[in-house]
A and B are shown apart, each in its own frame.
Chain A
């Protein structure tokens, strides 16, 4: 059970990594480049991606792609929400964290769901 969950988790990050590779391939093809030296990613803390798992699958995902030699730089965007009941803006680690002031669970997520390729550095 634990094993199969781990496997799923890794599959999940692998599919995300493949999505990143696809974007890099498409964007470099547009400008006729074929080696990326650095890729900048933005990943929100509430996006459901574990950086460790992403790092774990990265090497096999980028093999034989334009990203093979690229440095990966990840900006982690902390989760932030605004309470729908008392307007308090607060940071959250989990999507289910309640308002620290009034304990309400009703909130709007302001940031932390990002999953974005920010920039590519090519030679």
Chain B
């Protein structure tokens, strides 16, 4: 093991070290079968620095707060869903349709995440559902502390459903656990079937996948089976719902899934 950079001989397998821009030249090469070449080229470099061993996960702060949210939701029997997708896949439309059809039987609360505007919150508010808008500004995803603050403001009753619409973005929200009970990835038929392997983390971390805008299928040449196969390659446990938020087609199966989770 290298005393300077601590690389190499790791218990959980080989590591490949990139020297980065340091002034003392390291030559590092590692191969997958554990062979490790290592040399320090500047013998004179003096190592009198103090090293602080940190070993801290960069997302740890969010993870701790996510665990707090999750505990809160469990204690109050709140079923919390984190809805993620590209911009325009239909998150708000699916929410509107679902709330319109089910709010007589299920108490819903909504958190809307967008970089700017209250537009989506206004769409939910029109349905008389309690809603809070989080504007993240430059931030491209929601984080647990934002959800915690929104939840406090919403004053959620026990035994209810919390819908969290994340910022439209298939990249970063995958890394930020919000403490949700389930993660729902939405993709629309206009997006191309290889999206799951282009943005694998989002599909890998989701529990269900809603394929929206199936009313448009006659006008498109997307192969939905191919899309599902790509998604299953990323996450073999993924469960699919094919819907149209516009026509209401297929929504029943998604409603049944939702109700089944409330028991």
Binding site for B on A (CB under 8 A): 8-9, 11-12, 15-16, 19-20, 22-23, 27-28, 31, 33, 37-38, 40, 42, 48, 51, 71-78, 80, 91, 94-96, 98, 105-106, 110-111, 114-123
Contact = CB atoms under 8 A, between A and B. Distances in A.
Contact of B197 (A19, A28, A74, A94): A94
Contact of B54 (A15, A98, A118): A118
B18 interface: yes
B45 to A, nearest CB: 11
Contacts of B53: 118-119
B52 A120 contact: yes
| Binding site secondary structure of chain B | mixed
B247 interface: no
A27 B15 contact: no
Interface in B5-32: 5-7, 10, 12-23, 32
A119 B51 contact: yes
Given A11-B172, A19-B61, A71-B21, A121 B56 contact: no
Given A22-B61, A78-B32, A118-B55, A98 B233 contact: yes
7 contacts: A12-B140, A23-B58, A77-B15, A94-B197, A111-B13, A115-B58, A115-B175
Q: What class of interface size applies to chain B in its complex with A?
A: 35 or more
Nearest to A30: B52
A28 to B, nearest CB: 8
A121 B22 contact: no
Contacts of B145: none
Contacts of A8: 140, 169, 171-172
Contacts of A120: 51-52, 54
Given A12-B172, A75-B15, A115 B140 contact: no
A95 B54 contact: no
B57 A96 contact: no
Contact of B20 (A12, A42, A71, A123): A71
Nearest to B16: A76
Contact of A116 (B56, B141, B234): B56
Contact of B233 (A48, A77, A105, A111): A105
